[in-house]
Amino acid sequence: MLAAWCEQRSAFRHFRLDRFHACTVLEERYPGRRHVIVERWRQQDRDWRS
């Protein structure tokens, strides 16, 4: 599983790696500090579960 930002859904999503056909690693990084991004992902996950 890979937790990542989904451009199509504008939300954090979980992706099964065994379903990937191809992958391109970009030099571009998501803007923001890591701990803030992780907290947003955790909050979205808590909201989804409730």
pLDDT at res. 30: 79
In whole angstroms, what is the distance from residue 50 CA to residue 46 CA? 6
pLDDT at res. 21: 94
pLDDT digits (tens, 9 = 90+) for 1-50: 998 888 899 899 999 999 999 999 999 887 889 899 999 999 998 888 88
In whole angstroms, what is the distance from residue 39 CA to residue 6 CA? 16
In whole angstroms, what is the distance from residue 35 CA to residue 50 CA? 23
Residue type, 25: V
pLDDT at res. 13: 92
